[in-house]
Structure 1
Amino acid sequence: MDFDISKLPRYDILCIDFKSYYASVECVLRGLDPLTTYLVVVGDLSRRGSIVLASSPLMKSTYKIKTGSRLFEIPQDPRIHVVEARMNTYIDFSMQVPKILNRFGPMECISIYSIDEIFYTYDSQSLFGDKWTAAKTIQKTLKSELGLPTAIGIGQNYFQSKSCLDCISKHSEETGYIAEVTYETFPDLMWKFPIRDCWGVGRQMERNLNRLGIYTIGDLANANLPKMKAKFGVIGEQLVFHARGIDLTNPYFKPKLDQNAITQKGFGSGITLMRNYEGEDIITALLDQTEEVARRAREVKMNGRTISLSIGYSDDVGGGGFSISRTIATPTNLTRKIFEVCKVLFYQNDVKRPVRNIHVGLTNLSTDDIAQLDLFEDDSKERQLMSTMDEIRNKYGTASVVWARSLTDGGTVIDRSGKVGGHKS
C-alpha cells in the first residue's frame, strides 16, 4: 500500500515546545532570563548522585550538562544556579498553556502531548493571519504571559510538525526557533537526519534498523515496505510511512472512552536508584517496587500470574542488565508471593554487579472477585492484612505503613512518598 501525497489531508499543525521547561520555569520565578542564565534542576539536592532533570540552554552549550547528568558533575561555578525540582509548580505553569491557546481557536484544536509540548491545529481562516503569523503571535504571547521561550514546528500532520520541531526548529535561531515542513519539502529537509531522530524510534529499534543498513530517515523512507512489514508488523509499515512524512491521524478526532471496554493489561513499578545498590540494599529496593505493584493490583481487585523483573546495572561497571519473567500457577496480588518470585529471578540471573535500575511487573491478569484457594496454603489472613494496610495508606499516605526493611538504608518508600513523578512536588 502506498499513497499519492496530492490526495492526502493537509492541516496546519503547530507543535509547541518549551525550551528546557523545568529550568525555564525556575528562571522565570527568579526573575532571570532562561536564555542567558546558567541554571540546573535536580531531583534531590541532598544526594550527590541526584539526576539532572533539566538545564538551561547555556548549561548545555557551555558545560554539556543535560538531562540525565548527575549533581556531582555540575562544575563549581558561582554563576550556576542549582535548584531542586518542584513538580507541582511545573504542572501549574503547564495548565495555563491550553487556556492561552484557546484564545486562538477552540479547545478541540488543542492536543496535549506532554508537560512541555502541545499540538495546536490552526485554522488558516482565523483572524490571526497565516500560520507563520499565528505561530509568531502565539510564541510572543507565551513569552510575555508566562516568561517561557518556545520553539515551534509547523507541519501538515502531527508527525511532520513534531519532526520539524525536534530536528529543525529547536536549532533555528535565525528564524526565531520556528520552522516548517510540508509533504513536498519533507525529503529535502528531513531525510538527512539520523534514524535516532525519527519520532517513535527508540534505542532498540535503532539497533534493529541499523542491522538492516538503515541509518538515516531517508534510508527508512526508501526501505522495502513489504519486508519492513514482514519483519516488524504494522509498526514497520508505520515507520516507513512516517519517514516519508505521512501521518493519517485526524487531529480533530477525540475518541470517547468506553469505560466498560477499558481493561488493565498489567501493573508495573520501576525506579532509577540515587546511588549504586549492592547486596541486601538491592533486595530492599526490590521489595519496595514489589509492594507498589501489588498495591496497585489490589486497589482494582486484580490478580496476576506472570511476574517480571528487569535489572539495570550501573554505568560505572559498563551498564547492561537483564529482563526475565515467570508465570505461576495461581494468580496473586499478595506482596509476599510476588516478592518471593522476584528474589528467585534476581538470584538466578544476577552477576554480582552494582544495580542502578529496578522494575517489577505483574501481567496475565484476572479479576479478584473470587479468591482462588490454594490447597496447601490458606492466605485469607494475609489478604485481610494487606487490605488493612492499603486502607491505612489510602487514608494517611504511602509511607504511613511500610515493611520494616524499607526503613533501612536501601529503602526507597519514605524518600519517594509525597513526590510527583518521583520528584519533589
Structure 2
Amino acid sequence: MQNYLYASIDLKSFYASVECILRNLDPLTTNLIVADKERTDKTIILAISPALKTYNIPSRLRLFEFKQKIHLLNKERLKQSKKHIFKAKSFNINELNKDINLEIDYIIAKPSMATYIEFSAKIYSIYLKYFDPKDIHVYSIDEVFIDLSSYLDKYKLSAYELLTKVLLDILHTCKIIATAGIGTNLYLAKIAMDILAKRQKIDENGLLIAFLDEKLYKYKMWAHKPLKDFWRIGKGIALKLENLNIYTMGDLARFSLNNEALLYKHFGINAELLIDHAWGIETCTMKDIKNYKSQNHSKIMAKVLPFAYDHNQAIKVLKELIDHLTLELIKHNLKTNHITLDIQYDKSNLENLNSYKGFIIKDDYGRNIPKNAHASINLENYTNSLKLINKKSLELFYKIIDKNLSIRKISLSLNNITTNAQENFQELNLFSDLNEILQEQHQLAKEEKLQKARLQIMHKFGKNAILKASSLDNETKGISSLIGGHNA
C-alpha cells in the first residue's frame, strides 16, 4: 500500500496582508482591517491583520462590533496612561507596545477582489515551480492541498525541508506569510495547519509548520477543545455532539466503539465522516479529488442588501442578479433548465410581533427572523435566454414573496447547467406547431447573438461600457463591479 504525505498551506490573513503590502506596511505590525465602510457600520469585516489578532479580536465581526472592541481596549489603555490622556494615535503595534500613551488606531481597507485574485495566481505559479498541477488542489483563494508523496525522493528533502523552501519562496517573492500542515492524509494535514501550526511558535525561518500522523493525532488532538475548531464541525454539529456528552475527538472515537448506530441516527451519512475523523482517518486521496466530477453544476449569486428593502426595491436587485448570471451562461456557452430563488427577510420585521404570525427561525448570528422564502422551477427546455430566465425568476419571486415584509438577502441559482452541445433537444409531437417553434428558436438565437455582442463590448471597454437604466438605481449600484459579492 502506498504511503501518502500531504501538505495543507494557508496564506496568513491573506486579504489584510495584501492590503498591508500594497501600502508598504508589515502585516505583522500594522493594525488593518478589510471592510467596505461605505456599506454602513453593519458591514462584515472580511479580514484582520495578524497584528490585530494579538489583541484577541476575532475575524468576521461586523464593523460596529470591531469599533466597540477597539474602544474598550483604548478605554483600558487610557486608565494606565499618564494624565489619562492620549498624546497621539498609532496603527503600529510595536509603537503601541512601547508607549501606553498612544491610542490604538487602525486602517480600513476597501476590499479589492481582483487584486487578491492576482496575488493568489502569482502564488499558485510558485507552487507550480515545485509541483505538478495534478498534485495541487486549490481549496480556496488562500488555501491549497498538495500531495507531497512523490516529491521527497525527487528533491532529496524531507517534507518539512521542502515546505520550508516553498514557503520562503512565497515570502520573498510576494511578502506573504504562509502557514502549513503536513499529514499522512488530507484531514491530518488540514488539522495540523488549522490547529497545531497556528498555535505554535514560529521556527528559525519565521514560519509555522506542523506535522500529524494518526498516532500523534490521538496524542495531541484527542483532548483538544472546542470541537468546532476541527474541520467540518460547525456550531450545530458541535452542539449535537455535546448533547451526547461528546466534548472532544477522543470522546467521539470512544463513543463510536459501542454507539455507532446512535451516531448515524443523529447525523445520517455524515456520521461516517465524523467517526473516521475522530480516529484521524481520511480515505479520500488527491487522485479521488481530481477524478471527482459533480453531477449537478450550478451558477449562484447572492446579494446581502445594505439595509432592509421593500419588495419593489428587491425586484430591481433580483433583475441585476438575473442579468449577471445569464451573461455568465452566454459567456461560457452554457444553458440551464432549473431556477432556485431564496429570499431572507430582515430581523426588523419582528419588532412588532403582533403584525407577523408566520414561522420564526434564527439567522447565522442567532437572531430571530421570519422564515426564509424558497422556491424552485423547472424550465421546459435548456436555455440561456435572458428574457425567459427573467420571466420565470420573477414568477417565482411574486409566488413566494410576502409584500408586507422587508428583505435583507436575495440568492439566485441557475442549476443543472450544461453546455450547448449537451442540451436536450425539444421533443416534437403531432400537436406541435413547427412554424411557431422555429420562430421561437429564431428569436432566442437572435437574443443570444445580441447578448454576445454586449459581452464583447464589455470585454473591450469594461463592465460598465453598457449600462441598463436599472443599473443606475441606488438599489443596484455596485453589483456590476462585484466579484463574489465583494468589490472588484
Shorter-chain TM-score range? 0.7 to 0.9
Which residue number corresponds to residue 117 of structure 2? 91
Q: Distance in 1 between matches of 2:25 and 2:275?
A: 44
- 2:483 aligned with 1:420, yes or no? yes
Which residue number corresponds to residue 322 of structure 1? 372
Which residue number corresponds to residue 285 of structure 1? 317
Residues 287 and 117 (structure 1), Cα distance of their counterparts in 2 relative to 1, 3 Å cut: same
TM superposition shift of 1:96: 3.1
Structure 1 ranges of 4+ moved more than 6 A = 371-375
Gapped runs of 5+ residues in structure 1? 1-7
Which residue number corresponds to residue 134 of structure 1? 162
- 2:216 aligned with 1:151, yes or no? no
- 2:228 aligned with 1:196, yes or no? yes
Which range moves more in the overlay, 292-301 or 246-255?
Answer: 292-301
Alignment of 1:386-405 (within 5 A): 386-387=447-448, 390-397=451-458, 399=464, 404-405=469-470
Residues 208 and 267 (structure 1), Cα distance of their counterparts in 2 relative to 1, 3 Å cut: farther
Q: Deviations over 1:106-125 (max 9, x none)?
A: 55443332221122333444
Alignment of 1:305-344 (within 5 A): 305=338, 307-314=339-346, 318=367, 320=369, 321-327=371-377, 330=380, 334-344=388-398
Q: Distance in 1 between matches of 2:394 and 2:131?
A: 55
Structure 2 residue aligned with 1:185, among 216, 220, 243? 216
Which residue number corresponds to residue 356 of structure 1? 408
TM superposition shift of 1:141: 3.2
Which residue number corresponds to residue 51 of structure 1? 44
TM superposition shift of 1:156: 0.9
TM superposition shift of 1:359: 0.6
Structure 1 length normalisation: TM-score? 0.79
Residues 402 and 356 (structure 1), Cα distance of their counterparts in 2 relative to 1, 3 Å cut: same
TM superposition shift of 1:18: 1.2
Alignment of 1:237-386 (within 5 A): 237-251=272-286, 255=290, 264-296=296-328, 300=333, 302-305=335-338, 307-314=339-346, 318=367, 320=369, 321-327=371-377, 330=380, 334-348=388-402, 352-353=405-406, 355-363=407-415, 367=423, 369-370=425-426, 380=440, 383=444, 386=447
TM superposition shift of 1:313: 3.8
Q: Distance in 1 between matches of 2:295 and 2:166?
A: 39
Equivalent AA in structure 1 for residue 214 of structure 2:
Y
Q: Deviations over 1:173-200 (max 9, x none)?
A: 2555322221002123223233322212
Residues 394 and 52 (structure 1), Cα distance of their counterparts in 2 relative to 1, 3 Å cut: same
Equivalent AA in structure 2 for residue 156 of structure 1:
T
Q: Distance in 2 between matches of 1:209 and 1:163?
A: 19
Q: Distance in 1 between matches of 2:479 and 2:188?
A: 38
TM superposition shift of 1:370: 2.8
Q: Distance in 2 between matches of 1:383 and 1:9?
A: 54
Q: Name the count of aligned residue pairs.
A: 408
Gapped runs of 5+ residues in structure 2? 72-88, 92-105, 351-366
Note the aligned Cα RMSD (angstroms): 3.8
Which range moves more in the overlay, 134-143 or 11-20?
Answer: 134-143
Contact in 1 for aligned 2:17/2:27 (Cα 8 Å): yes
Residues 424 and 277 (structure 1), Cα distance of their counterparts in 2 relative to 1, 3 Å cut: same
Residues 262 and 62 (structure 1), Cα distance of their counterparts in 2 relative to 1, 3 Å cut: closer
Identity of aligned residues (%): 25
TM superposition shift of 1:285: 1.6
TM superposition shift of 1:19: 0.8
Which residue number corresponds to residue 5 of structure 1? none
Which range moves more in the overlay, 176-185 or 194-203?
Answer: 194-203
Q: Distance in 1 between matches of 2:378 and 2:286?
A: 43
Alignment of 1:29-44 (within 5 A): 29-42=22-35, 44=36
Q: Distance in 2 between matches of 1:128 and 1:146?
A: 26
Equivalent AA in structure 2 for residue 172 of structure 1:
Q
TM superposition shift of 1:384: 6.1
TM superposition shift of 1:311: 2.5
Residues 284 and 130 (structure 1), Cα distance of their counterparts in 2 relative to 1, 3 Å cut: same
Q: Deviations over 1:271-324 (max 9, x none)?
A: 22233333422222223223344455566453425x432223446773544152
Residues 399 and 116 (structure 1), Cα distance of their counterparts in 2 relative to 1, 3 Å cut: same
Residues 254 and 186 (structure 1), Cα distance of their counterparts in 2 relative to 1, 3 Å cut: closer
Q: Distance in 2 between matches of 1:55 and 1:374?
A: 61
